[in-house]
Amino acid sequence: MLPGGPSRHPPSMKNSDTGIHRCAWADSSPLMCAYHDQEWGVPVRDGRELWETLMLEGFQAGLSWSVILHRRETFREAFQGFIPERVARFTEADVARLLLNPGIIRSRAKIEATIGGARAYLAMAKAGEDFSAFAWSFVDGKPIPNKTGKVLAKTPLSEKLSAALKKRGFKFVGPVIVYAWMQAVGLVDDHMPGCFKRAKATPQG
């Protein structure tokens, strides 16, 4: 699932100004173009960053990714930098505060899922399960290229990872959301054939 949902446009297209081939969705706006070129699909190894992105993907459900990008810094401020130890201590008063914040997605279910996600993240750590090692174990430690040439919404692997996350207490982690997350953090290389970023992502963290 590409940011903003599956595209009906060609897999990649040539930007008329730069002559660079990108995934078609990247030219929808300057913000999406920068996100595509600098972040999307770059392998993320830091567990906290992986968790933050998963939480934001949950907020995206039913919306376009550009909405989240426009509000990402406000989200980070509202959720105290997405530091799990802080978010896990949020109370009903914090939920009420967040529901009044126009700079985020004011969904009680998604807010509570993020708080629960912080607690699940910490429970994994307490049990000796590193979140990054957990996530990357599903792809044997390296990005899996999408060789179909098609825009996918989910895969058997995203269904398996979704089930594992739900088992650990995470919510808003259905297989479609999880696949979007896998694309974003580089667990899969879903840059389309012809895109200049295909198979050129470099690790972060």
Predicted local confidence at residue 204, as pLDDT: 47
Residue owning tokens 């919510």: 171
Instruction: Determine whether the annotation assigns residue 36 to a binding site.
Output: yes
pLDDT of res. 26: 92
> Helices 156-167 and 175-184, interaxial angle, to 10°?
100
70 is in an annotated binding site: no
* Amino acid residing at 180: A
Q: Quick check: pTM over 0.85? A: yes
pLDDT at 180: 96
Residue appearing with tokens 């012809």: 194
Query: Which residues are known to be catalytic?
Result: 35, 57, 65
Q: Is 21 annotated as a binding-site member?
A: no
pLDDT value of position 30? 93
pLDDT tens series, the chain, 205 aa: 556 443 333 444 555 456 789 998 998 899 999 999 999 999 999 999 999 999 999 999 999 999 999 999 999 999 999 999 999 999 999 999 999 999 999 999 999 999 999 999 999 999 999 999 999 999 999 999 988 878 889 999 999 999 999 999 999 999 999 999 999 999 999 998 889 998 665 444 4
Long-range contact set of residues 132-141: C-beta below 8 Å, sequence gap at least 24? 132/45, 132/46, 132/47, 132/50, 132/205, 133/47, 134/164, 135/47, 135/50, 135/161, 135/185, 135/187, 136/45, 136/187, 138/164, 138/187, 139/187, 139/188
- Please tell me the predicted confidence (pLDDT) of residue 2: 58
User: Is 33 a known ligand-binding residue?
Assistant: no
Q: Quick one: angle between helices 108-126 and 92-99, nearest 10?
A: 140
Question: Domain residues of the chain, as ranges?
Answer: 47-189
Pick among 1.10.340.30, 1.25.40.10, 1.10.3720.10, 1.10.3210.10: CATH of 47-189: 1.10.340.30
